[in-house]
Structure 1
């Protein structure tokens, strides 16, 4: 199983806060950190040092998507935030980014594995691309 983490954060969120949310979420759901295959966020966060530091620490690729690239995933979100949309043009950064990366890397069968979790200044969602049973 490969998991793809979508991350959102407030400006200046440190890597340690993002890492703590990721580690706690994986642990709480009995998911191995070794299953993580990549991290993603919205391109508005491309300048966030915490995201880049987390990717470096984990040795994982970090991919950024535009709001237009994330828009097709809106119907699959567990929560639509008017506030997030007003700030970013996307109704759910973490879930949309996780789905976009899972679909890009794993195929069109991508689905949320865990909906968004918010802790402090960080938001996380996990997606995966389950094998196609067709």
Structure 2
């Protein structure tokens, strides 16, 4: 990613203010720039005993505007699952879009690792470090 793009996304932060993870509802409530945005996951189907949920990108696009990437919907699905696993207290403050973007760089995605760090309380802002 170029320096200007990196600088801009490193200045975009969001907070997770609430979430719901039940058999019927999957929802992450995010606060950014004084806007509350609900990011829902939709149930797709049960396959071999596993539930499949997808996170449509409309709300994620609303959150990040021109800096939206299609993979960010997947990140919020992973984050929601990790928050449920860790019974994460909310709010979770100051999550940097730059860190989310960097989780998708390189040959191996680190989105699940980042989601787990955020949910478990071990996330620290990287500010461009890899």
Q: Same fold (TM over 0.5)?
A: no
Report which structure shows greater RCO (CA 8 Å, sep ≥6): 1
Flag the structure with higher strand content: 2
With normalisation by structure 2, the TM-score equals: 0.29
With normalisation by structure 1, the TM-score equals: 0.29
Structure with higher Rg: it is 2
Flag the structure with higher helix content: 1
